[in-house]
Amino acid sequence: MSSSQVSKQRAQGGSGAAPGRLVAVSRMLPLPAAEVFRLLTDARNHARWIPMTRVEAPPGPPRRGAMVTAVSGPLARRGAPGVVDRMRIDRWDPPAEGVPGVAVFTKLGPLLLGESQIVVEAAGPHRSRATWSERVRLAGPAPAAALVAPVLRAMLALALARAGREVRASRRRRPSPTEAPR
């Protein structure tokens, strides 16, 4: 299933996701799908891409059942309190031949509830399309999806743009397989 099909299914409520407005951002990255999937689904990398955020995740590669905590706020990276986003990895299926990789992070509160999903599909041997989507609502009686959606969209776009710049910068530093070492 392509990322657009997954996004469409989620928009129609096909995954059983919590209520909330679906926000999705896609970006082409110049790496094979397996590498992009590992990079984007390792939540420890998110602190580099999402402003004012620190992330606590277990060591090693992501795995189903792992708990991730992100804290966002003006001084969160220095250890100050902020908005806590507790998540559990409920799906972590790397891409396979002709099948996109899918990771689902379920948001458990205390403030944010819903799902975050990363879908990575090959777009050639050395290119991939990454789609990061979130369907999030605030805990409590106030329906604030309309307020949360623009912030989430900006955060996702910035995170994928920063990940793309990081990937391109690291590729410029590495010689290609056909180059002679210096």
Reported residue count of the chain is: 182
Q: 169 in a domain, yes or no?
A: yes
Taking residues 51-75, what's their average pLDDT?
A: 94
Q: 180 in a domain, yes or no?
A: no
Q: 8 in a domain, yes or no?
A: yes
Q: What is the pLDDT of residues 78-105, one digit of tens each?
A: 999 999 999 999 999 999 999 999 999 9
- The answer on pLDDT for 52 being more than 80 is yes
> For residue 58, what is the enclosing H or E element?
none
Instruction: For residue 49, give the CATH number of its domain.
Output: 3.30.530.20
**Residue type present at position 121:** E
Q: Are 135 and 22 in contact (CB under 8 A)?
A: yes
Q: 179 in a domain, yes or no?
A: no
The reported pLDDT for the residue numbered 143 is 58
Residue range(s) defining the domain that contains residue 126: 3-173
Q: 116 in a domain, yes or no?
A: yes
Question: Degrees (nearest 5) of the Cα angle 57, 114, 77?
Answer: 35
Give the pair of three-digit tokens for residue 134. Answer: 């979130």
Q: 182 in a domain, yes or no?
A: no
What total number of domains does the chain contain?
1
Taking residues 13-36, what's their average pLDDT?
A: 79
- What 3-state DSSP class applies to 71? strand
Distance CA 36, CA 167 (A): 9
| Of the candidates 14, 18, 7, 12, the residue with the CA atom closest to the CA atom of residue 143 | 18
Q: 21 in a domain, yes or no?
A: yes
Q: 33 in a domain, yes or no?
A: yes
Distance CA 142, CA 127 (A): 41
Give the pair of three-digit tokens for residue 18. Answer: 């919590």
